Amino acid sequence: MANSLRGEVVKLYKNLLYLGREYPKGADYFRTRLKAAFLKNKDETDPEKIKQLIARGEFVVKELEALYFLRKYRAMKQRYYSDNKP
């Protein structure tokens, strides 16, 4: 059972690593935190606990995507709308 979850964990790690390239504090900061988080739970063998950790990681993915969309939205808004109030 744990081997079937291994692929999901690797996929999650790669996805987070990819998303971390645009992290506001820098890619190196994100990469070290990501590696520490995954290494902290590397000895976990309980399939239910692993599934919970994967779900938490997927939540982080959604939060990062929301952060990036918000940043892009703000940049577009600044580009096309002035802050001068009449």
Q: Do 57 and 12 contact (CB within 8 A), yes or no?
A: yes
Rounded distance between C-alpha atoms, residue 84 and residue 44, angstroms = 55
Give 10-residue mean pLDDT values along the chain (86 residues).
81 93 89 94 90 94 90 82 64
Q: Which of 1, 4, 5, 16 is nearest to 58 (CA)?
A: 16
What is the model's pLDDT at position 85?
A: 55
pTM of the model: 0.77
Q: Do 53 and 41 contact (CB within 8 A), yes or no?
A: yes
Provide the token pair at 68: 């990036």
Host domain of residue 53: 4-82
Rounded distance between C-alpha atoms, residue 5 and residue 26, angstroms = 29
Residue found under tokens 């390239």: 21
